[in-house]
Chain A
Amino acid sequence: MRHRRFSTRIRDASTGYLFILPALAVFAVFVFYPLVKTIYLGFYQTPPFPNLPSKYVGLSQYRHVLSSSSFLDGLRTTVQFVLLTVPIGVVLGLALAVLAHKRLSGIRIFRTVFSSTVATSTAVASVIFFTLLDPQVGLLSYWLGQQGGSGILQSPTWALPAVSVTTIWQNLGFTFILMSAALQSIPDDLLEAASVDGSRSAATFWRVTFPLLSPMLFFAAVIGVIAGFQAFGQIDILTQGGPEGHTTTLVYYLYQSAFQQNDTGTAAVIAVALFVILLVLTLVQFRFVNRRVFYAD
């Protein structure tokens, strides 16, 4: 009896593994192998001239790169970028979703408009803002009184905020859709019960709607942080990491190391660092924020 049960279990398990095998194979080739290979590359110093053999330096390259001012500047810029884009992006997306949740005639038009940036690529969004911010012909530059000046994207103070605005704008459609879906999943009964119970609409929002939206807000924040750490396209198109490295995030620093300086070793170390940072951040978010989030039973 016991023996049969055991063999059944083995058979069930092997059927299970059989099902995940294709996915496992894809992950192995495109994720696990590159990950291991990258960690491995971090142990080898790239030679100063091509065609010379790489030199095994062990952890010293990790130590060297991670304590360099370039890396720390990149990390600081990345954190600033995330802090600029995620909170504002989520709040704006939520605000638009709340506005568009009202039952008004023609509200569908607004819903379409608000979600339209989801169909815009990073490249397109960046080119749009590049034009808007152009010191000669840019409408935004004109409005901001920067016309004919050195340009907002060339300003060490304003380049990163400008890149952030572009990013927020481009992500807004997606955040709006997430928040709208979450709002629509809240039963009308609950809001009606609250109004009969004597709650004013602002109080109902904070005491009923907002807690029920919290899983989606949390999800949007996690996705936003990960996207922020991985942002590349808008920086490459708008500023190429400039001026004077003020928009050089970790990913852009990685790109410069790998493809402009052909320094695979340094690039590998940055990549591993990015991986670890995102892993830790996500775990922390799940561990601490998740406790304050309500999920329906």
Chain B
Amino acid sequence: MTTADGGPAGNGEIVEPIRLDTAAVAVLRSEESSATIALEGVTKNYGSTVAVKELDLVANAGEFLVLLGPSGCGKSTVLRLIAGLEQLTGGTIRIGSDVVNDIEPRDRDVAMVFQSYALYPHLSVRKNIEFPLRARHVPTPERATLVTEAAQSLQLESLLDRRPGQLSGGQRQRVALARAIVRRPRAFLMDEPLSNLDARLRVEMRAELIDLHRRLGTTVVYVTHDQVEAMTMGHRIAIMRDGELQQVGPPQAVHDDPANVFVAGFIGSPAMNLLGGEIASGAGGATEVTVSGGTLRSATRALPPEAPIGRHVTLGARPEDLVVGPDGTVEATVSLVEALGHEFHVACRQPDGRMLTVRVAGSAKPPAVGDGVRLGCVGRIYLFDADTGVRIDG
């Protein structure tokens, strides 16, 4: 039984916990091995298609920066531009103090981990890890030491003479990482490195990557479309859409203070409820917004002067901030109850047909499908401009 990429199937595979060898990793760490990556006005066009538009973004030295966004948002293109695999249409990329716009990939001193792992199939694990050192004409004795250290730090010693085709998905992933760390580059570029792993292995590798980064201290730019990876791994998250940067910030800050409707809907699981409404009153930090099933009343950040009563807005409310109860002010009908064990996701239909998701604790008794319920808000609500989607409260 094999998976699509030829490795043994995840469910039959014995997942051994990977313990990073602290001593071995410490050897790999060095102070100058970490560089700031700065993008200024970076633009990339393919013909008339704009893949990346006027991007300004900095990954600080030693930082774990995650580029997050849906497929086709340009995040992988940004990574490939940093690596030098694509030519810039406009702007500047700096790695450390060097402008690298016209520098070949091989001279940029960054290592890349590909989604496919891109292991050389005809070479053994040892030769794969050795490849960047050979390419740089590192003398043989030093090469052997470095390969051993990298292999040790990723628990690959017993696999050194195998070929990639004989490895499981998780093992291939570790070989790809070993090949990246072996020459101590100034930065790692990772393009959805965990997306080919099964769910359990992905959670493990996530922890290993965080650990590896903490020990090596090298700058990481990490591309993913998985918000859980982004939230758990990144020092900061940069959210992209259609080639444009939407917001950059620490995971919690982005979650708590989304800059626009797109970020609000993209971060958080289950996703934030977004409804059309009208501001009814905004006095004393308690805002009332009229939606189709009634008036939702809750705390918001201070409303700006240009958000007067009667203004059409998009209202955002996280499922965990909504409650079902007699004190609720919005009428809805339960149309679906998903039991997840520790909690229920209750989908409620408003009179205009729009759906609202409410998170109910697993210990509570959820309403039944078809019940008429009243919804209230115990947390914050977010207000966005109905046309531009830009956040207007706070």
Interface flags for B64-83 (1: CB within 8 Å of A; 0: not) read 00000000000000000001
CB pair B85 A294 closer than 8 Å: no
Interface flags for B157-192 (1: CB within 8 Å of A; 0: not) read 000000111100000000000010001000001000
Say which residue of A196, A200, A207, A211 sits within 8 Å of B112 (CB atoms). Answer: A196
Among residues of B, the one whose C-beta sits closest to the C-beta of A211 is B122
CB pair A297 B163 closer than 8 Å: yes
Q: Does B261 contact A (CB under 8 A)?
A: no
Stretch at the interface among B102-110, B210-218, B330-338, B346-354: B102-110
CB pair A197 B132 closer than 8 Å: yes
CB pair B85 A194 closer than 8 Å: no
Say which residue of B111, B122, B189 sits within 8 Å of A294 (CB atoms). Answer: B122
CB pair A297 B183 closer than 8 Å: no
- Using Cβ atoms and an 8 Å threshold, which residues of chain A touch B107? 198
Stretch at the interface among A73-81, A101-109, A160-168, A184-192: A184-192
- Using Cβ atoms and an 8 Å threshold, which residues of chain A touch B164? 297
CB pair B120 A195 closer than 8 Å: no
Q: Does B362 contact A (CB under 8 A)?
A: no
Q: Does A28 contact B (CB under 8 A)?
A: no
Q: Does A296 contact B (CB under 8 A)?
A: yes
Q: Does A273 contact B (CB under 8 A)?
A: no
Instruction: Using C-beta atoms within 8 Å of the partner chain, give the interface range for chain B.
Output: 20 to 34
Among residues of A, the one whose C-beta sits closest to the C-beta of B104 is A195
- Using Cβ atoms and an 8 Å threshold, which residues of chain B touch A197? 106, 111, 131-132, 135, 179
Q: Does B114 contact A (CB under 8 A)?
A: yes
Among residues of B, the one whose C-beta sits closest to the C-beta of A189 is B118
CB pair B165 A196 closer than 8 Å: no
CB pair B135 A194 closer than 8 Å: yes
- Using Cβ atoms and an 8 Å threshold, which residues of chain A touch B163? 297
Q: Does A139 contact B (CB under 8 A)?
A: no
A59 to B136, CA, bound (A): 64
- Using Cβ atoms and an 8 Å threshold, which residues of chain B touch A203? 135
Q: Taking the nearest CB of chain B, how far is it from the CB of A136, in angstroms?
A: 53
A199 to B133, CA, bound (A): 9
CB pair B105 A297 closer than 8 Å: no
CB pair B116 A187 closer than 8 Å: yes
Q: Does B310 contact A (CB under 8 A)?
A: no
A187 to B108, CA, bound (A): 22
CB pair B116 A189 closer than 8 Å: yes
Interface flags for B108-138 (1: CB within 8 Å of A; 0: not) read 1011101010101110000000011011100
Q: Does B270 contact A (CB under 8 A)?
A: no
CB pair A195 B106 closer than 8 Å: yes
Q: Taking the nearest CB of chain B, how far is it from the CB of A292, in angstroms?
A: 11
Among residues of A, the one whose C-beta sits closest to the C-beta of B166 is A297
CB pair A198 B136 closer than 8 Å: yes
Q: Taking the nearest CB of chain A, how far is it from the CB of B381, in angstroms?
A: 45
Q: A212-B121, A212-B122, A296-B165 are in contact. Are A192 and B85 (CB under 8 A)?
A: yes
CB pair A297 B6 closer than 8 Å: yes
A187 to B183, CA, bound (A): 24
A296 to B183, CA, bound (A): 27
CB pair B106 A196 closer than 8 Å: yes
CB pair A196 B83 closer than 8 Å: yes
CB pair A208 B106 closer than 8 Å: no
- Using Cβ atoms and an 8 Å threshold, which residues of chain B touch A212? 121-122
Q: Taking the nearest CB of chain A, how far is it from the CB of B78, in angstroms?
A: 15
Q: Taking the nearest CB of chain A, how far is it from the CB of B175, in angstroms?
A: 12
Q: A190-B118, A297-B166 are in contact. Are A196 and B111 (CB under 8 A)?
A: yes
CB pair A194 B104 closer than 8 Å: no
Q: Does A193 contact B (CB under 8 A)?
A: yes
Among residues of B, the one whose C-beta sits closest to the C-beta of A296 is B121
A197 to B189, CA, bound (A): 12
Interface flags for A254-297 (1: CB within 8 Å of B; 0: not) read 00000000000000000000000000000000000000001011
A296 to B121, CA, bound (A): 7
CB pair A199 B131 closer than 8 Å: yes
- Using Cβ atoms and an 8 Å threshold, which residues of chain B touch A199? 106, 131, 135
Among residues of B, the one whose C-beta sits closest to the C-beta of A294 is B122
A212 to B110, CA, bound (A): 25
CB pair A196 B6 closer than 8 Å: no
CB pair B121 A297 closer than 8 Å: yes
A46 to B5, CA, bound (A): 62
CB pair A297 B118 closer than 8 Å: no
A193 to B111, CA, bound (A): 9
CB pair A193 B114 closer than 8 Å: yes
A212 to B123, CA, bound (A): 10
Q: A297-B6, A297-B163 are in contact. Are A198 and B122 (CB under 8 A)?
A: no
Q: Taking the nearest CB of chain B, how far is it from the CB of A213, in angstroms?
A: 10
- Using Cβ atoms and an 8 Å threshold, which residues of chain A touch B116? 187, 189
- Using Cβ atoms and an 8 Å threshold, which residues of chain A touch B106? 195-200
CB pair B132 A198 closer than 8 Å: yes
CB pair B121 A198 closer than 8 Å: no
- Using Cβ atoms and an 8 Å threshold, which residues of chain A touch B105? 192, 195-196
Among residues of B, the one whose C-beta sits closest to the C-beta of A293 is B122
- Using Cβ atoms and an 8 Å threshold, which residues of chain B touch A194? 120, 131, 135
- Using Cβ atoms and an 8 Å threshold, which residues of chain B touch A196? 83-85, 105-106, 108, 110-112, 189
Interface flags for B4-26 (1: CB within 8 Å of A; 0: not) read 00100000000000000000000
CB pair A294 B135 closer than 8 Å: no
- Using Cβ atoms and an 8 Å threshold, which residues of chain A touch B189? 196
CB pair A189 B114 closer than 8 Å: yes
- Using Cβ atoms and an 8 Å threshold, which residues of chain A touch B135? 194, 197-200, 203
Among residues of A, the one whose C-beta sits closest to the C-beta of B164 is A297
- Using Cβ atoms and an 8 Å threshold, which residues of chain A touch B84? 195-196
- Using Cβ atoms and an 8 Å threshold, which residues of chain A touch B121? 212, 294, 296-297
A297 to B135, CA, bound (A): 25
Q: Taking the nearest CB of chain B, how far is it from the CB of A206, in angstroms?
A: 12
Nearest first, the 6 A-B pairs at minimum CB distance are A297-B165, A193-B118, A294-B122, A198-B135, A189-B118, A197-B132
9 A-B pairs with CB atoms under 8 Å apart are A194-B120, A195-B84, A196-B110, A196-B189, A198-B135, A200-B135, A207-B131, A297-B163, A297-B165
Q: Which residues of A contact B (CB under 8 A)?
A: 187, 189-190, 192-200, 203, 207-208, 211-212, 294, 296-297
